[in-house]
Amino acid sequence: MSYEELDRVGVIERVIEKRLTQREAARMLGLTSRQVRRLRRVYEQHGPGGLASKHRGRPSNRRLPSALRGEALATVRSRYEGFGPTLAHEKLRELHGLRLSVETLRHWMIEDGLWVPRARRAPRIQQPRHRRPCRGELIQIDGCDHEWFEERAGRCTLLVFVDDATSALMELLFCESESAFSYFAAMHSYLEQHGKPVALYSDKAGVFRVNKKEPQGGTGVTQFARALSSLNIDILCANTPAAKGRVERAHLTLQDRLVKELRLRGIGDVEAANAFAPEFIVDYNRRFARAPRSEHDAHRPLQPTDDLARIFSWQETRLVSKSLTLNYKRVLYVLDPNEAARAARGQRVGIEEREDGSLSLWHGEHALLATAFPKEHGVQQGEVVDNKRLSEVMDVIKERQRKRTEAKVAKPSTTLRKALLLRAGAHRRTSPGPSAEDRP
Pick 405 or 24 by higher pLDDT.
Answer: 24
Same domain, 91 and 187: no
Same domain, 157 and 231: yes
pLDDT for the residue numbered 217: 63
Residue 303 falls within a domain, yes or no? no
Taking the CA of residue 255 as centre, how many other CA atoms within 13 Å lie in the half-sphere pointing to its CB?
A: 14
Contact 150, 260 (CB under 8 A): no
For residue 163, give the nearest of 206, 207, 199, 127 by alpha carbon: 199
How distant, in Å, are the alpha carbons of 5, 71, 88, 277 from that of 115?
Answer: 34, 17, 11, 50
Give 230's contacts (C-beta < 8 A, 6+ positions apart): 306, 311
Same domain, 245 and 188: yes
pLDDT for the residue numbered 129: 85
Backbone angles phi, psi at 361, to 5 degrees: -110, 135
Same domain, 187 and 211: yes
Average pLDDT value for the chain: 87
pLDDT for the residue numbered 421: 59
- Write the single-letter amino acid at 270: V
**Helix/strand/coil (H, E, C) string of the chain?**
CCHHHHHHHHHHHHHHCCCCCHHHHHHHHCCCHHHHHHHHHHHHHHCHHHHCCCCCCCCCCCCCCHHHHHHHHHHHHHHCCCCCHHHHHHHHHHHCCCCCCHHHHHHHHHHHCCCCCHHHCCCCCCCCCCCCCCECCEEEEEEEEECCCHHHCCCEEEEEEEECCCCCEEEEEEECCCCHHHHHHHHHHHHHHHCECCEEEECCCCCCCCCCCCCCCCCCCCHHHHHHHHCCCEEEECCCHHHHHHHHHHHHHHHHHHHHHHHHCCCCCHHHHHHHHHHHHHHHHHHHCCCCCCCCECCECCCCCCCHHHHCCEEEEEECCCCCEEEECCEEEEECCCHHHHHCCCCEEEEEECCCCCEEEEECCEEECEEEEECCCCCCCCCCCCHHHHHHHHHHHHHHHHHHHHHHHHCCCHHHHHHHHHHHHHHHHHCCCCCCCCCC
Distance (Å, rounded) from C-alpha 54 to C-alpha 341? 95
pLDDT for the residue numbered 436: 47
Residue 321 falls within a domain, yes or no? yes
pLDDT for the residue numbered 212: 79
Same domain, 43 and 74: no
Contact 189, 170 (CB under 8 A): no
pLDDT for the residue numbered 398: 80
Residue 352 falls within a domain, yes or no? yes
Pick 126 or 223 by higher pLDDT.
Answer: 223
Share of the chain above pLDDT 90, in %: 59
| pLDDT for 439 beyond 50 | no
Same domain, 193 and 243: yes
Q: For 124-138, what is the mean pLDDT?
A: 88
How distant, in Å, are the alpha carbons of 343, 360, 396 from that of 319?
Answer: 12, 15, 30
Per-residue pLDDT tens digits for 82-119? 899 999 999 999 999 998 999 999 999 999 999 999 88
Q: Is residue 403 classed exposed, middle or buried when 0-12, 13-18 and 19+ CB atoms within 10 A define those classes?
A: exposed
Same domain, 158 and 246: yes
Per-residue pLDDT tens digits for 283-330? 999 999 999 999 999 999 999 999 999 999 999 999 999 989 999 988
Beta strands 359-363 and 314-319 are unpaired
Residue 340 falls within a domain, yes or no? yes
Q: Which domain holds residue 230?
A: 138-288
| pLDDT for 359 beyond 50 | yes
Same domain, 268 and 366: no
Same domain, 115 and 257: no
Per-residue pLDDT tens digits for 361-409? 999 889 999 988 876 554 455 666 666 656 766 776 787 788 878 877 7
Q: For 20-39, what is the mean pLDDT?
A: 91
Contact 135, 292 (CB under 8 A): yes
Q: For 233-261, what is the mean pLDDT?
A: 94
Pick 304 or 52 by higher pLDDT.
Answer: 304
pLDDT for the residue numbered 126: 75
Count: domains in the chain: 5
- Write the single-letter amino acid at 144: C
Q: For 350-370, what is the mean pLDDT?
A: 90
Q: What is the CATH number of the domain that holds 282?
A: 3.30.420.10
Same domain, 282 and 352: no
Same domain, 269 and 212: yes
Residue 308 falls within a domain, yes or no? no
Same domain, 149 and 272: yes
| pLDDT for 204 beyond 60 | yes
Residue 58 falls within a domain, yes or no? no
Residue 427 falls within a domain, yes or no? no
Residue 300 falls within a domain, yes or no? no
pLDDT for the residue numbered 375: 64
